[in-house]
Amino acid sequence: MKARRITDRVSLIGAVDWDRRLFDALIPIPDGTSYNAYLVSGSDRTALIDTVDPAFTEVLMAQLADVPKVDYVVAQHAEQDHSGSLGAVLERYPKAKIVCSERCKGMLIDLLHLPDGSFSPVADGDSLSLGDLTLKFLYTPWVHWPETMSTYVQQEKLLFSCDFFGSHLATTDLFAEERRVYEPAKRYFAEIMMPFRGMIQKNLDKLDGYKIRFIAPSHGPVYDKPAFIIDAYRDWVEAEPKNLAVIAYVSMHDSTRHLVDRLIDGLVAGGVGVERFDLTTIDLGKLATALVDATTVVIGTPTVLGGPHPAAATAAFLANALKPKMKYAAIVGSYGWGGKTVDQLAGLMPNVKAEFFEPVMCKGLPRAEDYAALDRLAEGIAAKHGELFGARA
């Protein structure tokens, strides 16, 4: 794909990865992704903002074939999907300097074995003149690594935001179509950014002093209506969770499924919205996305060798790692002869700052007393939601 102009002097280059479905050998990306690099052409000097994943180095170099000179390569983030082609770029442009944070410099040397003399580190708030264009560097740490920075082109009112505001979305669209990008952007936030909500809020506040006409992230399309994604991040980071209970469960012989069915009936009767996920079939990215809005999370599991089913343990680990805004949690399930399922699941979630309801664990198939306990659990969750969202939330 040829370079595409965002403005007269800023172009999107890089690569679209149509077929990738797993990122970092961990994160499901059903819509593929892109590795965005940007060319900024000032009257005196030229800057390349980020590079691409090593698998697409040839694509980037082909796009640079007609670019006679690159003076600076701005490395906003050391992770290899952004930095992995730096070596090839320096071979093409040996006089170019890598502009990055001091911390990023050390990480790039460790990750890519780049020579120390190739770097020109910048501090937070530093500026770099390209002639009639000026780049200003804003440290935006923990979106999602500690060394990350963003770059603001003052004359164009354009923010290169790196992973901040990104979306894993393979598309030929230059500019974001809001209905198309919302779900991939929310999934991206859930899977990657949610654990760092506190730092993201500070970085959002840091942008308040800048007039921004475009946001150009390192994954996904460019935002030519940036208020859309900034407002979405404000909601995901700062707003109270929604009137939603997320139920993630696995059932081996239907006992746990019966518990989940009864609990859902009680929650719906109590005015609580529910999203239900069978952990044997679900894309964990969808569960992560639901956690962005959940007030209550319920994990359902049978007992396997004295503890939770591995899929339920994965769900607990995910909630612990992502640190959603949830306020309440519960565990339901079944067992054959005993075990420590509840203790082990709760022990997997030390970072979850939520009030836990009394668990409901039944021996074998649920009996009347088990269903009664589930009804009480549903009533308790509905009452808590009623306090937050109204009597019939």
> 71 by DSSP, 3-state: which?
coil
Do 165 and 225 have their domain in common? yes
Do 205 and 331 have their domain in common? no
pLDDT band at 391 (very low <50, low <70, confident <90, very high): low
Of the three residues 238, 261, 280, the one that is the final residue of a domain is 238
Percent of the chain with pLDDT over 90: 95
Region 205-226 average pLDDT: 97
Q: Does a structural domain hold residue 225?
A: yes
Region 77-82 average pLDDT: 97
Region 232-242 average pLDDT: 97
Comparing 381 with 338, the larger pLDDT belongs to: 381
Specify whether the CB–CB gap between 34 and 220 falls below 8 A. Answer: yes
State how far the Cα of 138 lies from the Cα of 148, in Å rounded to an integer: 9
Do 197 and 292 have their domain in common? no
Of 213, 102, 198, nearest in space to 158 by CA: 213
Q: Does a structural domain hold residue 127?
A: yes
**pLDDT tens digits, residue range 287-298?**
999 999 999 999
Do 168 and 211 have their domain in common? yes
* CATH number, domain containing residue 58: 3.60.15.10
Region 167-193 average pLDDT: 97
Do 311 and 215 have their domain in common? no
Do 82 and 178 have their domain in common? yes
The answer on pLDDT for 1 being more than 80 is no
> 84 by DSSP, 3-state: which?
coil
Q: Does a structural domain hold residue 346?
A: yes
Q: Does a structural domain hold residue 65?
A: yes
The overall average pLDDT reported for the chain is 96
pLDDT at 393: 53
Residue 389: both structure tokens together: 């969202």
Q: Does a structural domain hold residue 393?
A: no
Do 148 and 186 have their domain in common? yes
Number of residues that make up the chain: 393
pLDDT at 376: 98
Do 280 and 215 have their domain in common? no
The answer on pLDDT for 133 being more than 80 is yes
pLDDT at 27: 87
Do 231 and 270 have their domain in common? no
Do 215 and 260 have their domain in common? no
**pLDDT tens digits, residue range 15-44?**
999 999 988 888 889 999 999 999 999 999
Specify whether the CB–CB gap between 17 and 1 falls below 8 A. Answer: no
Q: Does a structural domain hold residue 36?
A: yes
- The total number of structural domains in the chain stands at 2
pLDDT band at 137 (very low <50, low <70, confident <90, very high): very high
Among 2-11, 22-31, 153-162, 273-282, the range scoring the smallest mean pLDDT is 22-31
Q: Does a structural domain hold residue 95?
A: yes
Q: Does a structural domain hold residue 361?
A: yes
State how far the Cα of 348 lies from the Cα of 350, in Å rounded to an integer: 6
Specify whether the CB–CB gap between 310 and 253 falls below 8 A. Answer: no
Of the three residues 238, 268, 299, the one that is the final residue of a domain is 238
Phi/psi class of residue 36: alpha, beta or left (left: φ > 0; alpha: ψ in -120 to 50)? beta
Do 166 and 306 have their domain in common? no
The answer on pLDDT for 273 being more than 60 is yes
pLDDT at 338: 86
Cα–chain center distance at 349: 20
Do 59 and 91 have their domain in common? yes
State how far the Cα of 195 lies from the Cα of 181, in Å rounded to an integer: 21
Q: Which residue segment(s) compose the domain that 306 sits in? A: 244-388
* CATH number, domain containing residue 272: 3.40.50.360
pLDDT band at 97 (very low <50, low <70, confident <90, very high): very high
pLDDT at 2: 86
Of the three residues 203, 238, 273, the one that is the final residue of a domain is 238
CA trace torsion 309, 375, 285, 79 (10° rounding): -80
**pLDDT tens digits, residue range 348-379?**
999 999 999 999 999 999 999 999 999 999 99
